[in-house]
């Protein structure tokens, strides 16, 4: 049995997260996509931040920025250790934000499916859809 500790950084999103996500988004379509160990350490807890915090965090972001962050979060969940979020992936929340704005790109689901190993992306769990 393992004991997990509470990490206060996992309960909120900050301007530091915004900087890292924007930096990663600028690289997502290139062959040079990478995150430093410090960036990974700062982003890792955000994968389990609740949906409401993510919705608030992206509230004033452009649709294009949210789409780029969806791509970043999809790739880091696949490529970096400790980012696995399953049905709690923030990608699902960000998809819902774009859908609510009527701004969901038609090709985004295909992109996600071709870049993920998370079986819940891009649609979420069955219980979420009931």
32-66 pLDDT, tens digit per residue, is 889 999 999 999 999 999 999 999 999 999 999 99
| C-alpha to C-alpha distance for 26 and 94, rounded to whole angstroms | 18
Band of residue 29 on the pLDDT scale cut at 50, 70, 90: confident
With a cut of 50, say whether residue 8 has pLDDT above it: no
Q: Which helix (H) or strand (E) holds 95?
A: helix 90-100
| C-alpha to C-alpha distance for 55 and 36, rounded to whole angstroms | 26
Q: How far is CA 121 from CA 1, 23, 43, 106, 111, in A?
A: 29, 23, 19, 15, 11
- Backbone φ, ψ for residue 51 (5° rounding): -60, -40
CA 97 to chain centroid, in Å, comes to 12
Q: How far is CA 123 from CA 76, 78, 118, in A?
A: 18, 17, 10
pLDDT greater at residue 31 or residue 43: 43
């Amino acid at each position: 049995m393992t004991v997990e500790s509470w990490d206060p950084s996992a309960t909120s999103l900050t301007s530091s997260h915004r900087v890292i996500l924007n930096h990663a988004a600028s690289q997502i379509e290139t062959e040079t996509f990478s995150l430093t160990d410090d960036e990974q350490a700062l982003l890792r807890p955000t994968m389990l931040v609740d949906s409401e915090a993510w919705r608030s965090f992206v509230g004033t972001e452009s649709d294009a920025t949210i789409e780029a962050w969806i791509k970043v979060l999809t790739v880091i969940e696949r490529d970096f250790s400790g980012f696995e979020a399953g049905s709690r992936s923030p990608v699902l929340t960000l998809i819902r934000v774009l859908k609510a704005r009527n701004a969901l790109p038609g090709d985004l689901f295909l992109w996600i499916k071709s870049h993920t190993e998370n079986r819940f992306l891009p649609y979420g769990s069955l219980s979420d859809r009931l």
